Amino acid sequence: MATEQKPINSGFGETTTATEVITGIDLKGKTVIVTGGHSGIGLETTKVLSAAGASIIVGARDVTKARKALAEIQNVKVIALDLSEPVSVDSFAKEYRKAFKKCDILINNAGVMATPLLRNSSGWEMQFATNHLGHFQLTARLWDELREAQARVVCLSSLGHRFSGIKFDDPNFLTHPYEKWTAYGQSKTANSLFAVHLDSVGEKNGVSAFALHPGRITSTDLNRFMSDEEKATATSSLSSIPKFVPSFIKSIAQGAATTVWCATSPQLNDKGGVYCADCDISPIVDDDSPQTNGVRNWAISPSMAERLWALTEQLVGVEWTK
pLDDT by residue (tens digit) across 292-301? 899 999 999 9
User: Mind listing the pLDDT tens digit for each residue in 194-204?
Assistant: 999 999 999 99
Q: How far apart are CA 259 and CA 157, in angstroms?
A: 10
- The 10 Å Cβ neighbour count of residue 50 is 20
Listed in sequence order, the residues at least 6 apart from 51 whose beta carbon sits closer than 8 Å to its beta carbon are: 19, 22
Rounded average pLDDT over 210-225: 76
Please provide the average confidence, as pLDDT, over all residues in the chain. 92
Given this model, what pLDDT does residue 2 score? 76
212 near 157, Cβ under 8 Å? yes
d(CA 60, CA 83): 9
> What is the percent of the chain where pLDDT is above 70?
90
Confidence of residue 236 (pLDDT cuts 50, 70, 90): very low
Look at residue 322 in the predicted model and tell me its pLDDT: 60
pTM of the model: 0.92
Domain ranges of the chain: 18-214+252-315
Percent of the chain at pLDDT above 90? 86
18-214+252-315: CATH topology is: Rossmann fold (3.40.50)
| CA–CA gap between residue 231 and residue 220 (Å, rounded) | 11
Does position 245 have pLDDT exceeding 60, yes or no? no
Above 80 in pLDDT, residue 246?
A: no
Q: How far apart are CA 300 and CA 200, in angstroms?
A: 12
Q: Convert the pLDDT of each residue in 142-195 to its tens digit.
A: 999 999 999 999 999 999 999 999 999 999 999 999 999 999 999 999 999 999
Tell me: pLDDT of 233 over 50. no
Catalytic positions, written as ranges? 184
Q: Give me the mean pLDDT over the 53-61 stretch.
A: 98
Sequence-ordered list of residues with C-beta below 8 angstroms from that of 90, at least 6 positions apart, any chain: 137, 141
Amino acid 154: pLDDT: 98
State the SS3 of the chain.
Answer: CCCCCCCCCCCCCCCCCHHHHHCCCCCCCCEEEEECCCCHHHHHHHHHHHHCCCEEEEEECCHHHHHHHCCCCCCEEEEECCCCCHHHHHHHHHHHHHHCCCCCEEEECCCCCCCCCCECCCCCEHHHHHHHHHHHHHHHHCHHHHHHHCCEEEEECCHHHHHCCCCCCCCCCCCCCCCHHHHHHHHHHHHHHHHHHHHHHHHHHCCEEEEEECCECCCCHHHCCCCHHHHHHHHCCCCCCCCCCCCCECCHHHHCHHHHHHHHCHHHCCCCCEEEECCEECCECCCCCCCCCCECHHHCCHHHHHHHHHHHHHHHCCCCCC
pLDDT on residue 248:
78
Q: Say what the pLDDT of residue 289 is.
A: 87
